[in-house]
Structure 1
């Protein structure tokens, strides 16, 4: 396994990013992975390595690069419930400043960089994201529907941009929702919008979960839900990406 820090040229500077991919010199499909709001840190690097070990080139950009390299804010080693309020007090201005225009401009740069890497095979890519990264994944896939074959988002506000955004998705979709994030009625509304747009999808609430259930450095972590996430994500990528 090769893992390294890279820098992605963008319209507003250079975004630092973490990349992981298999050793051996063979080209593999590309996956753009958006971190949760806490950003690139050991747990995200671990997840990127895990995914790369299944035969993918995984690129995790620091979406808040305009404010400095990751970690953009000081994070405790373990983000317990007692630390969340202070952390989010620092994060929310960054999230609010990350406009749709910035997201889409950066997505162009990230995908262009990813597909230009010599280790990445020609063809479609996948985008996955966690928490706010789930919304960024949806926005990226909607704007690059001819290039993105699959999008997966976990405990993210994926419907925040409304049905019009969902209708632009053409790849296969999986949304894994936290039980505390989405009521069954809201899930039904979201899934009806996906059905109306003829989007091939699975969209489900992971039972008993809290927002952030994939992240092992938080109080929300749920090991069974993390495994369920892999059980959904890996087959999705295998179906949609060449040589996956």
Structure 2
């Protein structure tokens, strides 16, 4: 489908959050996907991922996940300076503030005449964690989490007992989790912990481990695996067609 793009500054509990919206140009109502980025915010690879999803009949929202900590429109470079700033932001923002961001986007979607009101979430790296976290919101109908970091290690700031893995018993929508076996950010032991916890909590999830490194979806850099990325896009699109459409 041909798509269009516009920008909305959404009011959240912690300030304005610049959010890119990619959606079909054809008139109609479409389900929405909130797409959470890496620590670098809306880079060119993130934009291309959002465009790919939107072209299959979805409204895709890409929020600036660290909007409180940077000027609106900030995009960090894929270099050491950008990585250090992004990681600093990651450890500075509490999960509770990400929760209120998600709620603000849910309310935004529900107010748009071009949305059906059905909402899925997807993300990569920390964005995979934020998609996992967003599944706690009862308005979210499905979550597709690509190599989510910091879930197993409980290293993101939050109130005691409010970390994402502990809270996973409160997730009631279907989830897909995908990990690269060569990803140093989520060890084999960490993956086992996540799988065991979700199983014990009787969560509705499917699990995939692929022979890939961290950030294998990012179509810039040496870790990109085009073949596996294509498989993941198809899997995600099929998943959202199943979970977000009547």
Match of 1:53 in 2: 55
1:16 lines up with 2:28 in the alignment: no
Tell me, in whole angstroms, the C-alpha distance in 1 between the residues paired with 2:61 and 2:175: 19
Partner of 2:198: 194
The TM-score, its normalising length taken from structure 1, stands at 0.88
Residue 39 (1) aligns with residue 44 (2): no
- CA distance in 2: counterparts of 1:100 and 1:162, whole angstroms: 8
1:3-25 Cα distance to aligned partner (Å, 9 max, x none): 11211111222111111111121
Moved more, 223-232 or 188-197: 188-197
Distance 2:148 2:115 in 1: 27
Match of 1:154 in 2: 146
Q: Deviations over 1:74-106 (max 9, x none)?
A: x2xxx3xxx3x3322222221111111211121
227, 232, 237: which one aligns with 1:234: 237
Q: CA deviation at 1:206?
A: 1.3
- For 2:56 and 2:45, locate their aligned partners in 1 and report how far apart those are by CA, in whole Å: 17
CA RMSD after TM alignment: 1.7
Structure 1 residue 218 and structure 2 residue 221: aligned?
yes
Shift of 1:219: 2.5
How far apart are 1:190 and its partner, in Å?
2.0
SS in 1 for 2:91: helix
**Unmatched 5+ residue regions in structure 1?**
none
Equivalent residues of 1:130, 1:154 under 8 A apart: yes
User: Aligned-pair distance for 1:183?
Assistant: 4.2
- The SS at the match of 2:135 is helix
Aligned residues: 231
Aligned position for 1:173: 175
Distance 2:84 2:192 in 1: 32
C-alpha distance in 2 between matches for 1:176 and 1:219 = 19
Give the secondary structure class of the aligned counterpart of 1:29. strand
Once the 2 structures are TM-superposed, how far is the Cα of residue 188 of structure 1 from its aligned partner?
Answer: 3.2
What SS does the aligned partner of 1:63 have?
Answer: coil
Length-normalised TM-score, structure 2: 0.87
Select which of 86, 99, 111 maps to 1:91. Answer: 86
Deviation at 1:231, TM superposition (A): 2.6
Question: Displaced runs of 4+ in structure 1, greater than 6 A?
Answer: none
